[in-house]
Structure 1
Amino acid sequence: MKLFTSLAMAALLSGAMPVMAQQQTITWWDFFAGGDGARMKALIQQFNDENPDIKVNATTLEWGTPFYTKVRTSAAVGQGPDVMTYHLSRLPMGLKEGILTPITDADLQIAGLAKDDFYTPALEAAKGPDSTLYAVPFDIHSTVLFYNKNLLKGTPFLDAEGNLTGIDSLEKFEAALAAAKANGSTAPISYATGDDGGVYRVFYTLLAQQGGELISADGQVLPGDSADKAVRAVEIMTKWAENGWQPEQALYEASVALFTSGKSAFFFNGAWEVPTMVDLSAKNELGFEWGVAEIPTLLEKHTNWADSHGWAVPIQGKAEMAPEKREAVMKLIGWMEKHSLDWAAAGHIPAYKPVATSPEFAAMKPNSNYAGLADRATYDPRSPVAGVASPTYDAAVNIIAPAIHGYMPATDAVDQLRAELEKAMK
């Protein structure tokens, strides 16, 4: 025993005995609440259980402006997280603030990922102007079209299996709205007509379907004939209001309630509301059959608004993150991507194609019904004044919403929109 102890001590002093690797502790910030929050907490717990060499300490902060303000101020002084969730639509603002670090090819290799693993629209939204990657896309969450099958019975807009059909133009969609109203729908198309996000996403989808741009890559607001296309988008939404097809000044919760109570035949909202419908249906609390599909091609182009949650690594003040810590962060990101099927249950489309194209995701209904939009989605303009909780969203609720409710002509609204965004960019 004494000989063994002496030899062990000698080996330790000589550096020959292997030293146990120190556990890496990762500080994580996200903004996920409700069902999203529960799913993410479960994923973090599973990761911690499977990776004893890495410990994730997670904190959930308030979504939107409060989250991004805290990230900016904390990262600048080295008090921010090691990794955080980040809307890709906010990436231009993060780059302007100088708080994001590049994601290198070596980082991706450590994570077991490659750029080709991701859908092109999401990957491009994660890059800076010089094509440097600054985030790893995790999902694609987009506007989709929920529909009430009961209110469409007897119309040409349901096929024999009860799936939405025959809507490939604005005219046919509006015919479906009229038919639903005749069938007793009091608000044939519901969306958050009094909220920034609801108004912006419908407006931006209609603009994008015309090939219009809100802000060009070189910073022009409504370049070329995009102002005319923006006017057309506002006029379409105004017509829906004038015909009594959409609710007046509906806040988000009210817009959801109109659909779940059976008053609306159609519902424009994010795919994140799919779990709401699934849960209510499972409890027999809907009172009608429902479906969900991609936003139809109402105008010239098959596309719609989308954003992504991604993983970003902020600066550490003036310090550099230790290589061992960054390696642990990238292993965490890679693990999350490969386990994103669990996250997809929240209605999102995995941005990581090996999961999105798997038989398991194909069997996940109704989510896989609208998975094709991942290749066709139009992301917010690559501008610091665009994205979640930005001046573009403010302009939607302050300018476009009043216009679609008849308080100003569409042309005046678009003129004001341009002026407000140009002012925000100065």
Structure 2
Amino acid sequence: MPRRRAYAGSGASLISRRSFLGGVAAALGGLMLGGCGVTSLAAERLVVDFWNLFGGGDGARLDEMERAFRESRPEVRLNSTTLAWGAPYYTKLAMSAVGGRPPDVAILHQSRLAAYAPAGLLEPLDPQLLSEFDMGPDSFLPEVLEASRYEGEIYAIPLDTHPFVQYYNTDICKEAGLLGPDGELKPLEGPDAVIDALKRAKEVTGDLGLSFYPADDAGPWRLWYTLYGQLDGEAILSPDAREVTLDEEKALRAVEFMVALAQDAEVVRANIDYGGSVAQFLSGRAGFHWNGEWEVTTYLEADLPFSMLPFPNVFGENHVSQADRHTFVIPTQSSRDPRSMEAALEFISSMLKSSLIWAKGGHIPAYLPVANSDEYRELKPQSNYAGVADNVVIDPIAWFSGSGSTMEQRASAAFQSAMAGGISPRQAVVRLRTILQELVNIPKPI
């Protein structure tokens, strides 16, 4: 086993991974001998405190991956804590770092990096040290790793990409004449072709062509940002997030398509929330479902006849879809035992190596040894959209941006109003620009 350079904290000396783990194992071995040294030796056991926001199926898969680490590293105690998704999680994570008592490892959406790295809340990670723990640059797609940098430094280790995708009911689409000879969905390109397919599916179901969730805090944003990206829209904010640079005409085209789905083609209802959209597709009341890929196990467990593909190429200029990534980060601590950093990296490395388990929940693994494996390629329908991992649009870089953010919620409300017929598409775009300008004008909280 090669010697590995340990993290060098303030005044810390460098130690090898072997001496680190060997010393801890020897200390634990001493416990079995009994005697008066038990209490002091027990205090030497390394602890990794890990915070995450995963519930449901993701939480169950995370537990399985954590068990693999515990079994392989019994000399390290892993404390895993699951907190409420969204703003509660990110507020607590930021406050813990500011207060000097953060976890050793935490999950961070990549779109949230701009709110944490500039504020000094995360440790920059040495690429050489990451390589020593089998997480070097060659372990990730260049585009995926690049999005984990801030001002040239690596601050996050990507676990996955979770894109906006298209589900389709194979029985309904077959009856609608939408499947090819191979039993797969025929390519859908262009707004007319997409809406025509949704209408044909609606004729079969007698209800809806598309299951989607306009009445949601994030759904309309995911759809709009996908469409805006496909139009090759300019970044909606300047690189320093101090100026709104929205391309209003392309923004309008995206909103107009969303409104057409609900108002003109009437293939989707504007008053459906997230849970309702899942229920619609699950019950066969819609031929298509637009959502993140994370509901795949819901439909597999229900034995639903369905498959999945990348989101359709509606506008044809740039076949992208909105996405985010879960990453591992190491929050800044006022002081850190160098052995603690090594234990944290050992834990993250173990989780990446177990990420085929994670991929079963729909997420595209970021770790190339897993993503390029035969086992993942054979995982269906999850691997059908794996090719989009390096061709996605992530929320703009700003402290107020990212998954579960105020920006997503307020923008989604504007788009939902347009889809429901309350305001015109042009008014929705004006409202979007106003929202962005208001957020840009707010001083950074940290």
Structure 2 residue aligned with 1:164? 185
Equivalent of 1:414 in 429, 433, 436: 429
* 1:280-359 correspondence runs (5 A): 280-281=302-303, 286=304, 289-299=305-315, 300-316=317-333, 319-359=334-374
User: Would you say 1:361 and 2:376 are equivalent positions?
Assistant: yes
- Aligned with residue 219 of structure 2, among 193, 198, 201: 198
Q: Which moved more, 1:47-56 or 1:353-362?
A: 47-56
> Residues 145-164 of structure 1 correspond to what in structure 2 (within 5 A)?
145-164=166-185
CA distance in 1, matches of 2:161, 2:206: 31
Change (3 A) 1:120 1:171: farther
* Change in 2 beyond 3 A, CA 1:380/1:121: farther
Q: Is 1:395 aligned to 2:410, yes or no? A: yes
Sequence identity percentage? 36
Deviations 1:199-228 (A, max 9, x none): 11001100000011332424366526x211
Question: What SS does structure 2 have at the residue aligned with 1:296?
Answer: coil
CA distance in structure 1 between the partners assigned to 2:206 and 2:137 by the alignment? 46
Superposition RMSD on alpha carbons, in Å?
Answer: 1.6
Query: Partner amino acid for 2:212?
Result: Y
Q: Distance in 2 between matches of 1:384 and 1:211?
A: 23
C-alpha contact 1:88 1:126 (8 A) present in aligned 2: yes
In structure 1, the residue matched to 2:292 is: 270
Distance in 2 (CA, whole Å) between partners of 1:296 and 1:351 is 22
TM-superposed CA distance for 1:110, in Å, is 3.4
Equivalent position to 2:207, from 179, 183, 186: 186
Q: TM-score, structure 2 length as denominator? A: 0.86
Q: Describe the SS at the equivalent of 1:245.
A: coil
Distance across 2 between alignment mates of 1:87 and 1:159: 37
Q: Deviations over 1:40-64 (max 9, x none)?
A: 1121122111112222111111111
Question: Is the contact between residue 205 and residue 287 of structure 2 (CA under 8 Å) also seen in structure 1?
Answer: no
Q: State the Cα distance separating 1:161 from its structure 2 match.
A: 2.9
Q: Moved runs in structure 1, 4+ residues, more than 6 A?
A: none
Task: For 1:290, give the aligned amino acid.
Answer: F
Partner of 2:7: none
CA distance in 1, matches of 2:267, 2:152: 43
Q: 1:66 aligns with which of 88, 97, 100?
A: 88
Give the 3 Å change call, closer, same or farther, for CA 219–185 of structure 1 in structure 2: farther
Q: Match for 2:54 among 20, 24, 32?
A: 32
AA aligned opposite 2:274: Y
> Secondary structure of 2:423's match?
coil
SS of the residue 2:208 aligns to:
coil
TM norm structure 1: 0.90
Mapped contact 2:148–2:157 kept (Cα < 8 A) = yes
Answer whether contact 1:121 1:375 (CA < 8 A) is retained: yes
Amino acid in the other structure paired with 2:103? P
Give how far 1:320 is off: 2.4
Give the Cα–Cα distance (whole angstroms) in 2 for the partners of residues 356 and 389 of structure 1. Answer: 27
What's the offset of the Cα at 1:74?
1.3
- Structure 1 residues 185, 99: closer, same or farther in 2, change over 3 A? farther
Deviation, 1:124, is: 2.3
Deviations 1:290-332 (A, max 9, x none): 111111211121110111110000011xx22111100111111
Spell out the pairing of 1:217-296 with structure 2 (5 A cutoff).
217-219=239-241, 223=245, 226-242=247-263, 243-281=265-303, 286=304, 289-296=305-312
CA contact (8 A) 1:119 1:351 kept: yes
Deviation (angstroms), 1:156: 4.5
Change (3 A) 1:395 1:221: farther
SS in 1 for 2:432: helix
CA contact (8 A) 2:45 2:77 kept: yes
Preserved contact between residue 385 and residue 424 of structure 1 (Cα < 8 Å) = yes
Give the total of aligned pairs. Answer: 399
Q: Which residues of 2 match residues 101-140 of structure 1 at below 5 A?
A: 101-128=123-150, 130-140=151-161
- Counterpart among 386, 391, 398 of residue 376 in structure 1: 391
Structure 1 residue 153 displacement after superposition:
2.4
Inter-CA distance 98–422: structure 2 relative to 1 (3 Å threshold) = farther
Between the aligned partners of 1:302 and 1:365, the Cα distance in structure 2 is 22
Does the 8 Å CA contact 1:380/1:387 hold for their aligned counterparts? yes
